[in-house]
Amino acid sequence: MSKKGFKVEIFVVVVCWFCCSRALPLKPNREVLNDRPVIGILTMIVSDEVMKPFGRTYIPASYVKYVESGGGRVMPIRLTLTTSEYEKIFKSINGLIFIGGATDLETSDFARVARIFYKLALEANDAGDYFPMWGTCLGMQLLTVLVAGENLLSRTTAENVALPLNLTTDAHSSRMFKDFPEDLVKAITQEPLTGNFHHYGLEVQAFQENEKLRSFFTVLSTNVAENEAHFISTLEGKRYPFYGVQWHPEVNRFQWDRNLNFPHSSHAVHLSSLLAEFFINEGRRSSHHFDNLEEEESSLIYTHTPLYAGNFTAYEQVYFF
Ligand SMILES: *[C@@H]1O[C@H](CO)[C@@H](O)[C@H](O)[C@H]1NC(C)=O
Ligand SMILES: *[C@@H]1O[C@H](CO)[C@@H](O)[C@H](O)[C@H]1NC(C)=O
């Protein structure tokens, strides 16, 4: 190699070290993307009596289809494994989703396993190993508990209601929304495109009063609950690729219960599609991989069959574990 070539290489190394030394490189600068991302979904503990005969934990198929629609594959993650098994899984997957449901956010197995992954994800991102995480509804609430180190949720009931988002000015420059077409951003603020199915949430005031949350997350949207409480509806990590939505983007395309206000308009579908693609693109920035092909194949959700659940739940299909 010529001397000139060597100098150029040193320059590249220095530039690279500079961008990797921050948790969140502003631009994926000549990053090699992973076009076969696998997204882990932590199974949810069954709480509904009608679902109990089928398993102890579950994943609604709507979340699986959501990931698949963005060009990703799903690995279901059980709650019964050892810490070293979770560490191995962490090195194999390219992102993680905490889904909605009902379970204790501090003492349940769901919370215990989430805490393990949260810690691993913080460490990885700090070391320049990009690893995105997403929480939906209870999953977003869980992220706030993990970051704050305490449960700051309060009653913010918005049950079975579709709402427009009250976007903050920060939303327009956020990673999540900045590439959205203008007409869709307008529609998000004016049309009921986000399905809410929750009793608890994080009030804007609780967020603002907590230094840990305030320094960790940027608030992208708020909404008003039935009791007039203003709650956080969309969050994005400042330094970490962690995202939270109090509403349910997956229902817009993959759940059809007539008794529930699932938004199915063209704008609602577009919103859901773009967010799925956004998160899977985040996963493309992770180069984690399984040790071998057999391990990958046996870990993915394709070896499982969802059960038809449209006649006893609000889901069309559910994977039970
Ligand atoms: C929207 O959010 C702003 C603060 O960002 C708040 O002052 C306003 O009351 C909110 N409006 C609604 C309708 O939620
Ligand atoms: C739901 O439908 C399936 C398939 O038709 C049937 O086997 C099952 O018994 C039904 N369950 C209930 C609770 O009606």
pLDDT tens figures, 95-138 = 999 999 999 999 999 999 999 999 999 999 999 999 999 999 99
Range of the domain at 67: 32-320
Q: Are 281 and 31 within 8 A, CB to CB?
A: no
Nearest CA to ligand 1 atom 13: 166
The answer as to whether 26 is a domain residue is: no
- Measuring CA to CA, which residue among 82, 81, 78, 244 is closest to residue 147? 244
HEC per residue, 253-306: HHCCCCCCCCCCCHHHHHHHHHHHHHHHHHHHCCCCCCCCHHHHHHHCHHHCCC
Q: Measure 302 CA to ligand 2 centroid, in angstroms.
A: 23
- How far apart CA 229 and CA 156 sit, in angstroms, is 6
The answer as to whether 25 is a domain residue is: no
Nearest CA to ligand 1 atom 11: 166
**137 assigned to active site:** yes
| pTM attached to this predicted model | 0.91
Q: Are 57 and 102 within 8 A, CB to CB?
A: no
- Measuring CA to CA, which residue among 319, 147, 142 is closest to residue 246? 142
| CATH (domain of 315) | 3.40.50.880
How many folded domains does the chain comprise? 1
Residue 224 alpha carbon, nearest atom of ligand 1: 14
Look at residue 31 in the predicted model and tell me its pLDDT. 76
The answer as to whether 203 is a domain residue is: yes
Query: Ligand 1 in contact with 160 (CB < 6 A)?
Result: no
Of 198, 248, 270, 288, which residue is the catalytic one? 248
The answer as to whether 4 is a domain residue is: no
The answer as to whether 160 is a domain residue is: yes
Residues lower than pLDDT 70 in the chain: 1-30
- Measuring CA to CA, which residue among 236, 65, 241, 71 is closest to residue 165? 236
The answer as to whether 138 is a domain residue is: yes
The answer as to whether 27 is a domain residue is: no
- How far apart CA 321 and CA 77 sit, in angstroms, is 10
Look at residue 320 in the predicted model and tell me its pLDDT. 98
Residue 219 alpha carbon, nearest atom of ligand 1: 5
The total number of residues written for the chain in this structure: 321
Please name the residues in contact with 54: beta carbons below 8 A apart, sequence gap of 6 or more.
Answer: 46, 307, 318, 320
For the segment 208-224, what is each residue's pLDDT rounded down to a tens digit?
A: 999 999 999 999 999 99
Look at residue 126 in the predicted model and tell me its pLDDT. 98
- Measuring CA to CA, which residue among 143, 125, 126 is closest to residue 134? 143
Query: Ligand 1 in contact with 224 (CB < 6 A)?
Result: yes
Look at residue 30 in the predicted model and tell me its pLDDT. 64
- Measuring CA to CA, which residue among 37, 41, 40 is closest to residue 58? 41
The answer as to whether 20 is a domain residue is: no
